[in-house]
Amino acid sequence: MSHYDILIVGAGHAGAQAAIALRQNKFEGSIAIVGDEPEIPYERPPLSKDYLAGDKPFERILIRPATFWAERDVAMLTGKRVVAVDASAHQVATAEDETIAYGTLIWAAGGSPRSLVCSGHDLAGVHAIRTRADVDRLMRELATTTRVVVIGGGYIGLEAAAVLTKLGKKVTVLEALDRVLARVAGAPLSRFYEAEHRAHGVDVRLDVAVECIIEQDGRATGVRLADGEILPCEMVIVGIGIIPSVEPLLAAGAAGGNGVKVDAYCRTSLPDIFAIGDCALHANGFADGAEIRLESVQNANDMANAVAKTLTGNPTEYHAVPWFWSNQYDLKLQTVGLSIGHDAVVLRGDPATRSFSLIYLKQGRVIALDCVNLVRDYVQGRALVVERKSPEPAQLADTSIALKEL
């Protein structure tokens, strides 16, 4: 049986950064990363952006080249899936019938795409966008695709819609709620993106329910809506969120549910087991201490950095400022803070100029900004979020006043 001082489960953003940061912090013990995908760690954001567009080859989205891991003596156990954890024996078992022993376990297994529950959800031509394999499979079908239906108006669905529209496909976006990005952004941002997509020729449908995917010869040929309308298409993309990959940990007795619960040091309730990244359910200070999971590169990297410090003799709590970005067409959205629970939104600038910000307030204090093509506000607004400033809304809206002056 192999043994590693630190075993990392999940070869994604969080797992890769944990190994990088451990070596940066002079950890000299043995490290292995076990991941169920065949690839060494790569960046996921380009999967719905430049990689999908065919503008970046796979080698350019690797988090580090293969030589990096070998040079730092990080064992890459790719193509292996951990199916069970024995916390008291300090061992994991893989689907490939291997047992691996560890001193400390870092669970960084992310999540898997939520699938539709209606009939036809698993037909050929129905795709998720989570892994390189998903996107390669989808891209192979593009040559024979003219019409695409995207189910879910979140960031991934909208980014894919933007890329596919640019590639000349006729795209329809179906959103169950009354606006796109409803879970993550304020209404003015939703309305702006809906208008942008429509201006690019995307058919954005709100408040719609999907009845089923229609089949012919084993392939998806359309989407039937609850009102009976049929949208013919050759491809369906489903972007309706993820389910955190934590079953083996929960089965081993870890506290959790929608993710695995961690404390301020990213420790789970099981001995010597940490959890980081998309799967870690944590109390976040930028959400007033509410228990949430964040699905972002920032959260994956910063949790990994905190755990690496803790494991190298410098106990470090995770308190990083949340940030996120999304690219659609020529629009670069940058977000800082968390808008969850906001009770007011200030519009700064004119959306018609395609360069503006939304500033979210809770009880008068700034909790988040969404900045569209406006790096300056994003950079300067960060301090308002960190310090929870409470400037006058009229001042926030006044573009003649730089945010750093507030």
| Positions that interact with ligand FAD (CB under 6 A) | 9-15, 34-37, 44-45, 47-48, 81-82, 108-110, 129-130, 156, 245, 277-278, 295-298, 300, 324-326
Torsion-angle region of 123 (φ positive above 0: left; ψ -120 to 50: alpha; else: beta): beta
Q: Which secondary-structure segment (H or E) carries 214?
A: strand 210-216
Pick 171 or 214: Cβ nearer ligand FAD: 171
Q: Where are the alpha helices (DSSP H) in 96-212?
A: 132-140, 155-166, 187-199
Pick 61 or 233: Cβ nearer ligand FAD: 61
Pick 111 or 381: Cβ nearer ligand FAD: 111
In three-state secondary structure terms, 330 is: coil
Q: Which secondary-structure segment (H or E) carries 248?
A: helix 247-251
Minimum distance from CB of 98 to ligand FAD (Å)? 12
Indicate the residue whose CB is closest to ligand FAD: 12
Minimum distance from CB of 280 to ligand FAD (Å)? 8
Minimum distance from CB of 185 to ligand FAD (Å)? 14
Pick 110 or 120: Cβ nearer ligand FAD: 110
Minimum distance from CB of 13 to ligand FAD (Å)? 4
CA 249 to CA 83: how far, in whole Å?
A: 9
Q: What is the dihedral of CA 138, 139, 143, 147, to 10 degrees?
A: 50
Pick 130 or 147: Cβ nearer ligand FAD: 130
Pick 222 or 337: Cβ nearer ligand FAD: 337
Minimal CA–CA distance to 192: which of 54, 356, 336?
356
Minimum distance from CB of 364 to ligand FAD (Å)? 28
Residue 400's contacts (CB-CB under 8 Å, 6 or more residues apart) are none
Minimum distance from CB of 76 to ligand FAD (Å)? 12
Pick 221 or 324: Cβ nearer ligand FAD: 324
CA 388 to CA 170: how far, in whole Å?
A: 44
Minimum distance from CB of 334 to ligand FAD (Å)? 10
Pick 214 or 369: Cβ nearer ligand FAD: 369
- Residue 162 has a CB neighbour count (10 Å cut-off) of 26
In three-state secondary structure terms, 137 is: helix
Minimum distance from CB of 269 to ligand FAD (Å)? 19
CA 309 to CA 307: how far, in whole Å?
A: 5
Residue 346's contacts (CB-CB under 8 Å, 6 or more residues apart) are 358, 359, 361, 393, 396, 397
Instruction: Walk across the sheet containing 126-127 and list its strands.
Output: 126-127, 235-238, 147-151, 170-174, 203-205
